[in-house]
Structure 1
């Protein structure tokens, strides 16, 4: 990977960590995950417009205004983008639903297979040959996935009893697995929509998935964010979050909660929303530069980092701290191995292109 690619994916990792750590606190205080999602997307749209307004020219295309750019897309392209935003919303809804059906450890275990699912979907949907990934890349995914599974299968993380079930239901596993597949599909489509169409001489088979629109990250956000906000608000209305948030606000204004607590919640919420706005932009940019598989690997690294932070904050680890540390070490080593394999692959490709024909 280039230095710029490493920088973008590093920023994405840090922002993702901040959003994940603060999300749980905000949702636990408000119980409004869909409204929070709508706020995140709206903040992303505002941040994108602010970045564009501070530039001398529109950051998406130097010769066109945003209004002109919007009207140049075909009806088919707009249809694709509406479906893409709908996929984002459905993925969030299924993720929230699956958390209530199975234990947290099993949920994280299934989510840890995202790199393998990414490879599988890339080969089946995009018709990428098996040789498109090197043997080192395939082998590096083993510790990346196994490390997360090893670290998350802890008795202290198994909260199945809190959901009133001793064993996970078949429906819960299927829904969680579907959510993992949709999350990977979302990442792949994010990359595809930002890529150029394949030239005719190297065109993919007709059965492959080619939805390339050659959109920049900011342009893609501007198209999809309004749809996503509307969909998230509809889900929030359906889930009864709007009156629920009203009750929370009335309770807080009634001094039922100390002022210091209110200030802490507001500060955490502000940090969460701002970080989420920057995260979505960084996510699209990192995906464009590094690819879906790298994004899945970083997601696994984030999982073990969350566990390490939880282990550091919590005084009593239940005697399972060594599993978290060992699992995190396995994942980090696998991540370094993956980065090295990617770098060697890109260097080899550049060397082959430099050979005169």
Structure 2
């Protein structure tokens, strides 16, 4: 990328600018986002990413949307940390099915320096050896822990903001918004790429959605990966009765993220099981260029389309999986 192109990236967005973008007439917004998407990315490629829960449930946090919180009565089964060999086997299958990114998630509040973390390090090394982008989401971590992950070959670390700083306390009380910002900074300082986005449908306002995007877009370096999630309403959680997220709200969020952070991968994440192929096509047109897929038809612990269904969708839309570099 040339020095001239780099100057297109902005880190000084105002709330008013982003709200104006979000509220543009829908077809105008999608057209502008699609045009920008084509300047920065191959619009015919979609990165297929696989997300595997390597340790499920029993989390001490109180995130209102999460079925893995120990305090909520859900039907999600607690699962100890998977054997390293099992995880590598899943990664090999994911690569064979077209995934170029493999993400491992553990339902921890924070990383602890113990044997479980040593096993995560081994998993990272094993997936990295397959030539895939390897990502982890393990909760809060220190800069020293981030450095260990980087040395093992970790490509990306996911730590979502979830929502705006202003609305954050309505959703989570067991950690602060600043805790999330600090972890992202530790990841950045260690030389690992950042994956950070949010969830819509938590009961937040449009202003909260924009504030979340503005926090990401005004970071000194944009997150290389920005997941946009629609709330998966898990029975037994405080948000189980929230209304389904409107598809056009997802399209507007994706388009606004694409315009504000044109170089980033914008990931159409949770919520796809409630979207038709046509609705997902609008999200791709608006600038999404990644989805999560997999053999288990799960996104962590919530339903997700399966690999064959996704490959059929991409073929219908004239899209193709992005290959491993």
Same fold (TM over 0.5): no
Q: Which has the larger radius of gyration?
A: 1
Greater relative CO (CA pairs within 8 A, separation 6+): 1
Structure with bigger strand share is: 2
